[in-house]
Amino acid sequence: MRYLLRRLVTSLVVVLGVVTITFITSRLVPSDPASLYAGPRARPEQVERVRQELNLDAPVVNQYASYLTDLATGDLGVSFATRRSIAADLVQFLPATLELALLATGLSMLIGIPLGVIAAGRRGARTGSKASKARRQRSDAGIRLFAVTSVSVPVFWTALLFQMIFAGELDLLPLSGRTSSSVSFREWTGFFLIDSVLSGSPSNVWDVIKHLMLPVAVMAAYPLGLTIRLIRGSMLEVLGEPFIEAARLAGIDERTVMYRLALKNALAPALTILGLTFAYSVSSAFLVEAVFNWPGIGRYLTDAIVRIDFPVITAAALVITVIYVVVNLGLDLLQVRLDPRVELD
């Protein structure tokens, strides 16, 4: 309980720090925010009016205070390009991004954990002839190489490549967007996979799935490589421990040793990986969404970058970061529940 409180307080301090950094970058880094907001062709008196409107002529401390109070009431400001409320925009675009990120995270864990275990098992192969051992170690090297490659490929490039192959050449999957233009259904949750099921039409569901395939596959590549590497590493560490040796000497068969004894202990860092993976998926979403024209907060962010729409850039970054902090907090607390060895310090 005391741990929970301490953890909550430090998270709050971190969030306050994050807000401060976004404030500094939004108000102090650009040489003159007012002329930036007013646009390149604005006349001096227009710039001056914007300066007053945005409260930029007030002392910095007052600006900071009003920034904090606005945030506390859920007011993220107004997009200077569209004059729409940023908070409302984000609520509208968030589900599209979360749908991608959650599916990509799930896919990468689903494939990555078994591959990591297999690689570690092959590396530590003990039975069989010399030739079969060498063959198994080669497959460890193969999985490792696959994992390093998938963390080295630029995600927006794979996105283009997949588009060219699967949407262009083979014409199997749609090029971009969340649904075909002919398909429409009521958006209950904003998660189209759920909404299309609720619409009761299998063809809607299939259309949504087809649109999800490419972006999810592309987005899952990096987390997949990360998962394989981390699981393989922690498996090898566990496999080197005395209790595994003891189990082997006691005659317990290799399969039970690997999957029942070692994997259970090696999964301890899995929650940390889950956090990392999710963070990566959400924050790299802008690259994937830009290519697939996916209407999520990532594309909202890139649109804002093109227009130098500064309030939107900082607000989107702030919201994603706060989500990230909250997810990490949740995973940490879960880990304490699951693993009694984690120190409550």
Partner 1 sequence: MGGPVASSSARRGLLPGLATPTPGSAVWYYRRSPLGLLAAGVIAVFVVAAVAAPWLTPFADQGRGDAELPSRLMAPNAVNWLGTDDLGRDILARLLFGARTALIVAVGVVAAAVIIGVLVGAIAGYFGGWVDEILMRITDTFLAFPPLLLAVVVAAALGPSLRNTIVAIAVSWWPWYARQVRAQVLSLRERPFVQALQVVGVPTRQIITRHVIPNAMTPVWVQSTADLGAAVLTAAGLSFVGLGPRPPTADWGVMIADGRQFVLSGQWWIAGFAGLAITLVALAFNLMGDVIRDVTDPKTRGNL
Under the binding rule (CB under 8 A), the answer on residue 9 touching partner 1 is no
Distances (CA, A) of 191 to 39, 91, 201, 205: 36, 12, 16, 12
Dist. CA 178–CA 168, nearest whole Å? 17
* C-alpha 63 chain-centroid distance: 32
By CB under 8 A, is residue 60 in contact with partner 1? no
Binding test (CB under 8 A) with partner 1, winner from 3, 146, 166, 324: 324
- 100 belongs to the binding site for partner 1 (CB under 8 A): no
Select from 65, 145, 246, 334 the one that contacts partner 1 (CB under 8 A): 145
Is 30 a binder of partner 1 (CB under 8 A)? yes
Q: Does 23 bind partner 1 (CB under 8 A)?
A: no
Please say which residue, 192 or 225, places its beta carbon nearer to partner 1.
Answer: 225
> 209 vs 106, 124, 195, 198, CA distance in Å?
15, 39, 12, 14
Please tell me the number of Cα atoms within 13 Å of 67 on its side-chain side.
25
φ/ψ bin of 13: left (φ > 0), alpha (ψ from -120 to 50), beta (otherwise) = alpha
Helix 297-306 to helix 310-338 angle (10° resolution) is: 150
Question: Among the candidate windows 89-97, 208-216, 244-252, 314-322, which touches partner 1 by CB under 8 A?
Answer: 314-322
Closer of 135 and 260 to partner 1 (Cβ): 135
Q: Does 155 bind partner 1 (CB under 8 A)?
A: yes
Q: Of 189, 186, 166, whose CA–CA distance to 176 is shortest?
A: 166
Map the footprint of partner 1 across residues 238-257, applying CB under 8 A.
240
Specify the stretch interacting with partner 1 by CB under 8 A; choose among 74-82, 125-133, 204-212, 279-287: 279-287
Structure tokens at 334: 């879960």
Which residues, other chains included, contact 143 with Cβ-Cβ below 8 Å and sequence gap of 6+?
Answer: 115, 116, 118, 119, 122, 228, 232
* 132 is an interface residue for partner 1 by CB under 8 A: no
Contact between 297 and 93 under an 8 Å Cβ cutoff? The reply is yes
Q: What's the CA gap between 257 and 127, in Å, rounded? A: 13
Strand partners, 85: 78
Question: CA–CA separation, 116 vs 108, rounded Å?
Answer: 11
Instruction: Count residues near partner 1 (CB under 8 A).
Output: 57
Which of 105, 108, 196, 284 touches partner 1 (CB under 8 A)?
284
Please name the amino acid found at residue 67: Y
Segment interacting with partner 1 (CB under 8 A) among 63-71, 81-89, 149-157, 262-270: 149-157
Contacts of 177 (CB under 8 A, 6+ apart): 211, 292, 293, 294, 295
Only one of the segments 1-9, 41-49, 87-95, 297-305 lies at the binding site for partner 1 (rule: CB under 8 A); that segment is 297-305
- Interface with partner 1, residue 259, by CB under 8 A: no
Residues 6+ apart with CB under 8 A from 196: 185, 204, 205, 207, 208
Q: Which of 128, 142, 168, 330 binds partner 1 (CB under 8 A)?
A: 168
Nearer of residues 161 and 334 to partner 1, judged by Cβ: 161
Asked if residue 160 binds partner 1 (CB under 8 A), the reply is yes
Question: Does 56 participate in binding partner 1 (rule CB under 8 A)?
Answer: no
Is 157 an interacting residue with respect to partner 1 (CB under 8 A)? yes
Nearer to partner 1, 109 or 282 (CB): 282
Is residue 152 part of the contact set for partner 1 (CB under 8 A)?
Answer: yes
Residues in contact with partner 1 by the rule CB under 8 A: 10, 13-15, 17-18, 20-22, 25-26, 29-30, 123, 141, 144-145, 148-149, 151-158, 160-161, 163-164, 167-168, 175, 240, 279-280, 282-284, 286-287, 290-291, 301-302, 305-306, 308, 310, 313-314, 317, 320-321, 324-325
